[in-house]
């Protein structure tokens, strides 16, 4: 006889990433198309992190080739599951070209501009400056142990 095991349904984990479920007393979702995601860069030491709830211009980088609010993130990969893990990775690297930022920056906020600029996550990296160049954040392989976002 098989033992019953408590836990969150694996299918629900992927369905959370596609906003299939509207839990609670009010429904916030109204759209039926994929949301627009963006990535914004931040100067070193500005306090952007897991407690950030939405895009903010406070501490955002400024410089030639950079526009406030950042750039669009290619969101063409459907969330999926493997075993008990739901996962998702943007379908392309995030890249700014013709960029000049003379002060150190070390973080990027990925946020949902469709849903009132709500934060998804913060990526950090070694402090950078750049002069008339391209800055790229390489995305990991989209797999259950390598994806950018993994829900176990």
Flag whether 78 is in a domain.
yes
> Can you give the pLDDT at residue 64?
97
| Domain coverage including residue 41 | 35-151
User: Is residue 124 in some structural domain?
Assistant: yes
pLDDT digits (tens, 9 = 90+) for 35-75: 899 999 999 999 999 999 999 999 999 999 999 999 999 98
pLDDT at 5: 63
Q: CB neighbours of 94 closer than 8 A, spacing ≥ 6? A: 39, 71, 73, 108, 136, 137, 139
Question: Does 6 reside within a domain?
Answer: no
Backbone angles phi, psi at 33, to 5 degrees: -110, 170
CA neighbor of 70 nearest in space, from 138, 132, 135: 135
20 in a structural domain? no
**Quick check: is 142 in a domain?**
yes
Structural domain count, the chain? 1
Q: What is the pTM of this model?
A: 0.88
The residues, any chain, with a CB within 8 Å of residue 47's CB and separated by 6 or more, are 59
For the chain, 152 residues long, give each residue's pLDDT as a single digit of tens: 776 566 777 877 888 888 777 766 666 666 667 889 999 999 999 999 999 999 999 999 999 999 999 999 998 888 989 998 999 999 999 999 999 999 999 999 999 998 889 899 999 999 999 999 999 999 999 999 999 999 88
């Amino acid at each position: 006889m098989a033992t019953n095991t408590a836990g969150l349904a694996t299918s629900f984990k992927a369905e959370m990433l596609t906003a299939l479920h509207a839990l609670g007393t009010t429904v916030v979702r109204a759209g039926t198309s994929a949301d627009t995601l963006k990535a914004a860069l931040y100067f070193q030491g500005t306090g952007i992190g897991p407690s950030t709830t939405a895009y903010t211009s406070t501490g955002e980088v400024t410089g030639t080739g950079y526009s406030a609010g950042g750039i669009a993130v290619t969101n063409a990969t459907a969330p999926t599951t493997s075993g008990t893990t739901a996962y998702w990775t943007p379908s392309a690297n995030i890249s700014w070209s013709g960029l000049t930022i003379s002060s150190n920056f070390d973080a990027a906020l990925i946020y949902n501009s469709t849903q009132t600029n709500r934060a998804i996550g913060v990526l950090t990296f070694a402090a950078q400056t750049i002069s008339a160049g391209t800055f790229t954040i390489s995305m990991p392989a989209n797999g259950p142990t390598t994806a950018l976002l993994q829900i176990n």
